[in-house]
Structure 1
């Protein structure tokens, strides 16, 4: 790996050395200033009339942002630029530097009982230990509030204490290192003696990592620095956000906003399930999509470098699990890496993979439930477990020093096939199917539910990877288990089906029936009608319990002599859903079942009704065949549920019919008009957004109607200054628009953006075609949302006109096709294994500065003949480097330079001066001979810089 790669962070101390901690000039403020200066003002904003223009939600957001900004500015003025001590208390759940305390509510309550010196049987102790139960104090369900009420009666000081923020952080660090409550007691006692009740309440919230202050980390980061959210998304480091972005005028480079090796990023998440499969298909633009099984494991990102010498494993919450799964291929203490020596292609130097870590049962050849994962991993570290971790890879974000997050999913999948080799039952590419209809989704969902899985993830093949995003390009699909029957359904097992493969000797699924009583003969034995088949949800232990409870009771099913005196199946000859074996009802067991819905008129079962996606919940050993669910009871439950559903529907329709809204109302807020048009919103995609539409009157009315029908609000006059989520819409230089452009305060967006948002059923990022007038910062940002031809990465095209516009910007393939070919595409088109060693990629991700002889020294004039040859070599090397994917820099002060190249006999004093100049940089470039480029080009691979020193 290149030494100049600043992202190579193997341990927290390395990050500390790479980052430069800002200097605080003032003393650490008292802990209570966080409460009085930040938390309490934030909590008050919800009930405060702010006086800002816009709706109530906008008022609150603006007020909170102002509170945050004021606090940050005051900190910088009075304390200094290092705000990390404060932020790690305000955002304790994002601070990965401090370990967990091992303290939950009950443990904290017991510590407080000892410190306060009250009886464990007292009402106050009971109030804290049972904080969820209403009692004499308010705050049921809020543990910190309960503790506050109890401490308030016994606080040692009524005024705020003098403990500083640094002192609190140091004591919390000590607390996190202790595991026994007796050792933690003195530290907690010191907190109690140094703080009043309110301070103790917020200290408890910090320890529990449950702040609830009304703002998310995204809002706090936005107030700290414009790039803070982007940096946290790709690093998961609160310390780095605070230390690297203390200067509000500094901006991250584009490369610095991308994922980097050995640095934990925030992964893309799947959008929440849609109301119907039709909406899922529509979200995929009615195109072919990928269907993946949703695994019941832990989301893990894998970072590999130096051909397997270094690994990092991070969870979704940025927890480092390298100690558990292995730090290298040679790590014998890791549960995974020691088994995957052949998992990567020979030419793969480094990569970042996204996947799911699950526990694999080699006996039953299946994935175990999530709860088994850590047990299996710890056992495998000692080679003592029956189950072991299996890493299922479903995405790749980085390969051989190149980020691929902006590539489409289908391209990333192609690259993944080249990078990863399956190591069965330890390290595998997660398979996917393709579909295009709701029937495809339904069919696959039935399969995975039958295999005890929890659902699917539907993915759009053309979508890029969105770091820390929850986009509709990935959608979860789960069976929505029915709630209308209240409790689950207790059904009797009447038959069994054997599994396949190694499970062929064991029953894997069961036929359940409903009891049919004989109303004319109460003493007659009940009969059971087939009702559903269940096989999903059993654990190995539950299968074992089933075998134990029914051992010796199963009889082979004879289709010629079905046991009609005990049970009936569907079909004239009981041929539907025939089990392999059957069991006498008196000897059977009752299973508790949940399902997605009821399927009427089923011809597969004798009841003519069944369950959709039935799933086992537990074995009911407290019930038998006489107390199991009967057909009569089930139909009664079903009828009751349908009646209640109809009543709710009638109430809803009556409410809609009687609710009348005025066609138009004007709400004057400080001279601004908020217009509400007739009709209820058709969607909420513009909810919380405010629009000032400045176009001709006819189009203005149409646009306002569209905005409001999709949850937005409109104002007539432009506010005095830019506000969050307020948009000025225009596309012609009217008098007011010309004035706004001269002021330069507002970014002005074309109406096309509104139509694109509605067409895509979501707010889409700005693109160049959307911008009528904007500052340079926005223009640079919007260009990243389209390719070089103007084709959007984030949304679908609306019409053929837009397609023609994009095509018109593309070069003629008969003339420029070869020359215009992007080396990035070549990555996915090579058929051999040397995809990373082709000439057009060997210098990718490098920034090269050439030290020409005529610039070597102003004091010494160039030696004509000799320097001419050197010039020629460097110019030729520059051509090689550019074709090999390098970016050339003419400014030696450029902080992004990775290599400085000079001829072998260059002025030694000049080279020494260069080394001295660059030695203090965050990213120190390599100084190499021009032969490094020449030989690398000759051998078609990037050679080690150590062989070409200067």
Structure 2
């Protein structure tokens, strides 16, 4: 029902019909001949917006109301409005059919549901236009709502949509109220607002300029339409001095694409910086006293994720100590990356990791890579040169490995140094490099200004080309209305028998890289071959993920296309569990037969070889004739240069990346006889090859893709490929440690819960009968090794606490334990005797210069100290309270004392006898008589 208690604002006095009339007048300008116009199209459209703003302000003045233009601006710029409705064309079509009582099998209903299909309607491919054509004789023209009512119901839809199923009833109520109380022309514009595409031929820059001459600058700083409208509400006042404000996000400065051989020319021969282009997500960190805020490049607030203070979030507790106490207020610009603490490296977007959820993954943590600073205390630094800003970064924070680090500025003068840095980035599987002018100032939201990004995927010939088959098609809209404008492409699935029906799996959707002429040509060639895709009767030869095409085609009638992309990303939309990032069509391949497309196994090998990247060749400065791609979707084909010379050789996979040949392995036993293994280790190919060799020698069979006969899948971590196997639910996924254990003991060890990455239902049922929730057997006596294994598995610690259990946490916990023992067991705390002692044991006996061995006696004392509550550190640091030395070996005593003299907080150097005597006496003995 309509809300009768809406606040009396100017929006309650302005109808949605008048706003729609403005939009209609704007699109009519495109149909007006040039000679009939006094000015250009954009200027005339801006004048119409200015007249509506004036009308809004006059209405506000007449009713003595606040004239804030935000209620209109969020409808005029729906793409910049932060409301998420969860409504797309198909769902809106169903609402229209239900609300207006259109028969579900009628021609009008089918036109709404299949609006992209070719029809005689002028607006084919445009859902809103199709809806208007169908509804114009079904809706009353005298219906309308005011602007406040429109925004109120859109707010209700957005809020209810965020609640999921619980809010669906309110979504239904609000959308039906709008559909039943607006005319056909108003519904057309409402639909475009919800879909966030008005199609009025005027960009946000022109609309903001029409509102206020400073509006674009303010929006670049704040990323908020609401702040633009509130700060610049008075058209007579200029926002002369824009300031960066802590707690208010501003749009980041961007890099301009550049050729490696043009850098010297662009920078006038001056010295420049080369930095790594981090493959993460752009974020700003704001610090206000002891409070933190984190904003994405689009101004979204992720403070709750990364932590408002030292006690919350996946990042703040770990970097708080790295920030200087002098930096009370701070804004840092950088890249939020995922860091693998075991392998000690930054991960890329190609890995199945969401940096905003990094703490959910084992050994993966959030790392903030800082490369610029905007504010230090009360000083705004955006107008300072980069070389000065870099010094401020070093002044305000220090590095913590895997948590916060600087971007290293490599000083350079030549194009060759740029090429060398790019080739090094290719070898390291990095996204690319960024070249910066040391004299450049920080310009929010602007591209260029002294920043240039150089990536291997911009350069023709550096990326691997993939020959993929067209499996499906999608109807286009706008200029491509009535055509099959996008294609679903995929791979040939490997099969054992030649007589079986060939199967294909989807990989990605492409819609760029070809000319309009090429599109028309292949639409004509394939016109009679397309078949409508029905979910209930999907073709058996197609293996699809969540992404379904509008049409499908028989493989024998299809075509091969040569596709280029940046890297491989995880995605459940496609069957392999991954897809291509920024795919673009290089060319159609009529010279290839339909069955000559790339196989799934070839694609997996290529992906594994390059760690997800599709670039593996170096750039040579002497060979820079190829054009750079200056569009993210690829270059215009009309401008693409033809390659000269011999055809590029087909990409092959080196032998180290293929499965081993069982025929070349000499059998050494039958431990794994009759069992088929799939060993999937993507990040350590040498270990994969070694394990395969051992399995083959002991009679086991090997496959590169699991089959129905596979005994188990061996893996070292849960990659996106493993997740796709887990989703199927037919396989046991076992850790590599289990296979190592079998090889060590020379027998097929029974699986235990701690051996598993994933267990299929049958295996889980077996575990439930034999083991408790901690992995402890009901029937077998626990051994020392088993106990260690259980504790090391971490099953006793909840997942959400694992990231917090660092050294600082454990030391604080020991203090609380000591307080508890002193309070409740003051006279009987034998096993908490050394609770407040932090030991370093000098356990190495130096036999000679080249040889050192463990001092077994001192090692035993160490165990006794730990048994009685002592905490042992592996090195001498600021926390050490006692350094324990064996009197029989004083070779390092002077060095230890020298270290102690340099420390602000001294530790005691005592003999091991102090620990033994204290245990014997059940109290801490006086240390002075044991000091060395």
Q: Tell me the TM-score normalized by structure 1.
A: 0.47
